[in-house]
Amino acid sequence: MKFLSVVGARPQFIKIAPMSRAIAEYNKDKKDKIEDIIVHTGQHYDSDMSDIFFDELKIPKPHFHLGVGSCGHGAQTGRMIEKIEELLLDVKPSIVIVYGDTNSTLAAALAAVKLHIPVIHIEAGLRSFNRAMPEEINRIVADHVSSLLLAPTPTAMENLKNENLITKSLNVGDIMRDAVIFNSNLAKNKSLVLRELLLRSKEYGLVTMHRAENTDDLIRLKDILNALNTIAEEGLRLIFPVHPRTKSVINKELNNWRPCKNFSLVDPVGYLDMMELVGNAKIAFTDSGGLQKEAFFLNCPCITLRDETEWVETVTSGGNIITGAKPEEIHKAFTQWSELMSHEIDFSKQVNSVFGEGKTAEKILDAIVEYIH
């Protein structure tokens, strides 16, 4: 069996690592070996994806790097389709595996289906119901052209049922759960970030913000920053590893805004350092879909600085509060969490019941092998 897995950004490499470990285990005692060919489109250039990144996280390096780079959505997707199609004609895989909702996911799914190669979509069925988000369009199209849809949650399965896709769908759990269990253990042994930033566990809040809906809207951005400043002034130290896009906007467009003494804007951190920061934070403020889940998995209360989320289970299970950008809503949510944080918080039962217990990669591999056979 020959798999071709297409990824384009650091979070997708983190998701592919548990699959690679599962395939290696499968190949130990099976006659029908799996050849897993990994393709990096180059959609995102990430300076943190050095040899150390792959070695520390035990992630296999890509066999092919297409070097597409950053450009407009149409141009980027078009270039990826062209290059992936050439590769598919040469490699002739049994299936193509795509992850999540990036332009790389969309391009690989379209290139494969036009060549009549079955597409397997991992993290199928997610919906924010906000079609202004490019990711939402990518998710919907990928789901509708895929041959096997591997959903991470019951809500995702319900979405697929509502779109008449249930007959080719399976709830396998969330592969990020596998990755967080593995990588948070690595982080405990390898990361020095708490020492470097002079932080003590559960005595700080973590901030991340990078989505265009916040960084490109100066009113929203300023409202969020002011709300966080107020929370920091009231006594909670906040650590904000600033995304380059966000930093550029703050420096150019909000040059009169200043963080208070207790609100520290720092350089971006690597993945293991981020795992350690999330796992030891008292609370997280974020607009990242991935970090919402990571916080939930690591028993860190979360406030999501968006108007909706595709990970609704983090909300319904009691680990996440959606506030948007309104300062009064952000502060209200923080007050609500403050009343609960006097007790030890443990989301593990809710996490296991919704996202699985960390065996998703094995379930995915079993489903793919059964589909091929």
Point out the residues that are catalytic: 210
Beta-bridge mates of residue 37:
4
Residue that the structure tokens 């924010």 belong to = 128
Give the residue among 65, 90, 69 at the shortest CA–CA distance from 78: 69
As a whole number of angstroms, the distance between CA 341 and CA 282 comes to 8
Residue that the structure tokens 């895929």 belong to = 146
Give the total residue count for the chain: 373
Within 10 angstroms of residue 31's Cβ, the number of other Cβ atoms is 5
Q: Which residues of 65-78 are buried (b: 16+ CB within 10 A; e: fewer)?
A: ebebeeeeeeebbe
Beta-bridge mates of residue 266:
241
3-state secondary structure of 92: coil
Residue that the structure tokens 């030891």 belong to = 280
Distance of CA 327 to the CA centre of its chain: 26
Give, rounded to a whole angstrom, the gap between the first and last alpha carbons of the chain: 10
Element (H, E) at 36: strand 35-40
Within 10 angstroms of residue 86's Cβ, the number of other Cβ atoms is 12
